[in-house]
Amino acid sequence: MAAEDAEATAVPSAVIDLATSNDPRAVARELRENPVVQIPDLFSLVTRRHDVEDALRQSSVFSWSAVGMDLGNIRPLIPLQIDPPKHVKYRRILDPLFAPKRVARLEADVVKLVGELVSKFAARGSCDFHEEFAVPLPCTVFLRLLGLPYSDMGTFMWIKDDIIRPPGDDAEQARRRRKAGDAVYEYFGKVLEERRAAPTDDLLSDIINSEVEGERLTDEEVMDISYLFLIAGLDTVTDSLDCFFALLAQEPEHRRLIVEDESLIPSAVEELLRWESPVPAVPRRTLEDIEIAGCPIPAGEAVMLLIGCANTDHDALPGLENLDLTRNPNPHLAFGGGVHRCLGSHLARLELRVALREFHRLIPNYELAPGTELEYTPGLRSLHTLPLVFDPVS
């Protein structure tokens, strides 16, 4: 795209939040007609697979730490908002704590939790999947992982909601985020004081006791890591579960595939992550003047890398315009890429695989409650409510 073309290009009608559309694939198709969509005084949208993937790999050009996103935090969230080389220090500590073998130890607990959650509504023949399953499952796993009391779930829920989806105008949203952020620091400040006095056997204590080059993390660093865990651990798996089950409730032929052959569930998880892209875009800021597909982007420009567009770019990888639960391999970008690739991807995969397997063992057939109109949330692709109906299970 030539410079003069970039200035003249009107923002396509498809610049609708990829998260809220009932058909984000159609939105993505229209957006990909231009490799870069420049929205004056706001940001540039990068739409095509190759360019998105390339940007994710170039942290020296496309910076996370320079984004300056306000999530109620007073310091950068670790390791998300830290760029190399300092980023490497934190990943050396955290990557082993989320390695596949370590995460696998949680499977029995997640299996038990799924059964307990389903048992609360199975005999009723209906549920609000969002409120009764998609929210409590990852929240309980998060509390278990960090060794925090389940009685604190309500506190974490209002904090998470007021950070990620605060209501009101810009001023009210900022006020709520700041209040929620203050609550995070206050909560974990007390927990760290308790853990240093009486160590426990959980992830939080492992982080507290970790060392890099002979130095332990400061309390501030541990709090900044915990802040990110709270946001990521309590929301993105919920978003994925909402998207997965909303689709399967409406497409019984795909649901039957995984009910009849559980061996397909790992590939189904990857394909549903690609197809739905619950995190449809990630922000960056350019550190130098660059060009993408001939379109100039100046240093200091805010850029949105459209994961949802890249994940269905069939020009880059043929066949991506179709949903195929047997697809393998599946090099999707739902967990991002490069040095900032999602730290908790193995944990998320475990929760999603177990949820699909165990839920469908107990309730193999379900559909949307009559009259349901799905309303997806902005930013991260989730649902306000997901009412399902099914034959009661005794």
- Cβ atoms of 380 and 19 within 8 Å: the answer is yes
pLDDT for the residue 114: 98
Instruction: Check residue 131 and give its pLDDT.
Output: 97
How far is it, in rounded angstroms, from Cα 179 to Cα 176?
A: 5
Distance of CA 113 to the CA centre of its chain: 21
Q: What is the enclosing helix (H) or strand (E) of 101? A: helix 100-104
pLDDT tens-place string over residues 315-372:
999 999 999 999 999 999 999 999 999 999 999 999 999 999 999 999 999 999 999 9
The whole-number pLDDT of residue 388 equals 98
Domains and CATH numbers, the chain: 3-389 (1.10.630.10)
pLDDT at res. 228: 93
Residue 213 confidence class, pLDDT cut points 50, 70, 90:
confident
pLDDT score at 15: 46
Decide: 113 and 137 in contact? Cβ < 8 Å.
Answer: yes
CA-closest candidate to residue 245, choices 332, 127, 77: 127
Q: Say how many C-beta atoms besides its own lie within 10 A of residue 243's C-beta.
A: 24
Tell me the pLDDT tens digit for each residue of 263-300.
999 999 999 999 999 999 999 999 999 999 999 999 99
The chain-wide mean pLDDT, for the chain, equals 92
Q: Nearest 5°: CA angle at 197, between 192 and 202?
A: 60
Q: What is the mean pLDDT of residues 190-215?
A: 90
Question: Residue 14: pLDDT above 70?
Answer: no
What φ, ψ does residue 216 adopt, rounded to 5°? Answer: -85, 160
User: pTM of the prediction?
Assistant: 0.94
Q: Give the number of other CB atoms < 10 A from CB of residue 2.
A: 10
Cross-sheet strand order for the sheet of 62-63: 36-39, 43-46, 302-305, 282-286, 62-63
Q: Specify the pLDDT at position 309.
A: 96
Instruction: Give per-residue pLDDT as tens, 70-84.
Output: 899 999 999 999 999
